[in-house]
Amino acid sequence: MSEIPLPSVTSAKGDFWVFGYGSLMWRPGFEFEERVPARLVGEHRALCVYSFVHRGTPEKPGLVLGLDRGGACRGIAFRVAENNRADVVAYLRAREQVTSVYREVMRSVWLENDARQRVSALAYVVDRGHVQYAGRLSLAEQHRHVLQGHGQSGANRDYVTATVKAIEAEGFRDAQLHQLATMLHGDAHSLHATAPLEDRENR
């Protein structure tokens, strides 16, 4: 696993790759030339970041995904044209680094296409020393935070649901995220079923 100094991310030449494993999978928000399923080895996707801005507040934190050490992670690699490099990196830093909870690193990822080549991709790995690092929470704790979380980008439960749908669209599963999504779906179904008839009719 390699890490490079931040300035060289913008000053390097040629096209470059960005690895998305959470909301970048379903809302990249930047221009790209190519989108390829990919696997990163050495870190795994986890709801291990307390969200104080996008999906929660400091008073009622939500939970968002980070790459945490160990295992592997399937996601999406986006190839960005050289002339868009600076703009895309600036966009990603503004989006991902609001509270500097991630480390911006370059990681080797294996593209799951016909070529099966290995490329170096920009990725956001959780900083375990940051106050927002949640560590390994139980499913019940994750559920509680996701239910309460609501921030600038909307409800935390919508973030989890959208990520699970994006994972399913790629043809694989993330066992813990899917289990959490099932619990959230059950909550929504229960609320819908017990709502007064007039409320249900006006939704």
Q: Dump pLDDT digits (tens) for 125-143.
A: 999 999 999 999 999 999 9
Residue-level pLDDT at 186: 81
Residue-level pLDDT at 11: 62
Question: Cα(158)–Cα(185) distance, rounded to whole angstroms?
Answer: 11
Helix (H) or strand (E) holding 166: helix 156-169
Pair of tokens at residue 199: 């409320």
Residue-level pLDDT at 120: 95
DSSP 136: S
Question: Cα(45)–Cα(93) distance, rounded to whole angstroms?
Answer: 19
Question: Cα(36)–Cα(52) distance, rounded to whole angstroms?
Answer: 31
Q: Dump pLDDT digits (tens) for 55-111.
A: 999 999 999 999 999 999 999 999 999 999 999 999 999 999 999 999 999 999 999
Residue-level pLDDT at 52: 96
Residue-level pLDDT at 194: 36
Contact 118, 109 (CB under 8 A): yes
Residue-level pLDDT at 198: 35
